[in-house]
Amino acid sequence: MNAPLPKRIWQWFTRTRVGRSIFRIGLPESNLERSQVMVSSFLLHVQPVKVHRHSLRASYSLGLGLILLYLFLILTGTGVLLMFYYVPSTEKAYDIMKDLQYVVSAGLVIRNMHRWAGHLMVLFVLLHMCRVFYTGAYKRPREFNWVIGVVLLLLTLLLSYTGYLLPWDQLAFWAITVGSNIASAVPLVGTKVRFLMLGGHFVNANALLRFYVLHCMILPLVALLFVAIHFWRIRKDGGLYAHHSEPDVVMTTAPARPPL
């Protein structure tokens, strides 16, 4: 038995105290060890130990949820990079946005990645919801995960909306003017909601700062929390939905009632 060198190094490393404390199991040899690897690893435990073949078909789920995860990661990465330059001030914001486009190295690519990933995120959330709807993946026991999905849709729209103001150009200003006036149409509390949202009567310095904090801190953290619950529920509800893996629902007929 002469294993190739990388494998021998790996086997030696996973037998050392450090390697064992990190990887616990090492390279799995049996089904039991394979499942132990999945359960004992933080990165792998998101995946189920076993997956139904049906749900692995790319044409079934279209990978839309995974695409959304990747878009979220792209948005987080590029968003953090943009924060190194961006300042939420009415005097500077627009100029900095232009600097990001024309002065900062790779700024144009990173800004555009953030912008396009943001647009695509909204699109793919809707497509993902269509897929879940048409394949019936929202049905028992997955109803609650659909509700979490709706919360994530709202968070995506709010992230998109708050990010819209940050370039501080004419489009941003009027879009938020119009949008915040829509909020003021809420009965009884509408104008108060608008005032709280903008931190004033107009789209102004306070509004820019508020939208910045919401866009960069509060909404992403809340979204992260709900994404985590969303993934956890998928695992708890038995992995990706696949028609034929579902337990048969016992069909019962209503007891016959005597004619009135």
The residues of the shown chain that bind other proteins, judged by CB under 8 A, are: 174, 177-178, 180-182, 195-196, 199-202, 204-206
Report the nearest approach of other proteins to the CB of residue 199 (Å). 5
Output 37 or 203, the one with its CB closest to other proteins: 203
Determine the Cα–Cα distance for residues 220 and 145; give it in Å rounded to an integer. 19
Determine the Cα–Cα distance for residues 227 and 207; give it in Å rounded to an integer. 27
Q: Which of 76, 68, 64 is nearest to 163 (CA)?
A: 76
Report the nearest approach of other proteins to the CB of residue 147 (Å). 24
Helices (H), the chain: 5-15, 17-23, 31-40, 53-56, 58-61, 64-83, 93-102, 107-134, 143-165, 170-183, 190-198, 205-213, 219-236
Output 32 or 178, the one with its CB closest to other proteins: 178
Report the nearest approach of other proteins to the CB of residue 151 (Å). 20
Contact 163, 171 (CB under 8 A): no
Q: Which two tokens stand for residue 260?
A: 């009135």
Report the nearest approach of other proteins to the CB of residue 76 (Å). 26
Q: Is 146 helix (H, G, I), strand (E, B) or coil?
A: helix
29 Cα distance to chain centroid: 34
Report the nearest approach of other proteins to the CB of residue 176 (Å). 10
Report the nearest approach of other proteins to the CB of residue 163 (Å). 20
Output 14 or 90, the one with its CB closest to other proteins: 90
Output 77 or 199, the one with its CB closest to other proteins: 199
Q: Which two tokens stand for residue 83?
A: 């924060």
Output 74 or 205, the one with its CB closest to other proteins: 205
Output 62 or 205, the one with its CB closest to other proteins: 205
Determine the Cα–Cα distance for residues 86 and 213; give it in Å rounded to an integer. 12
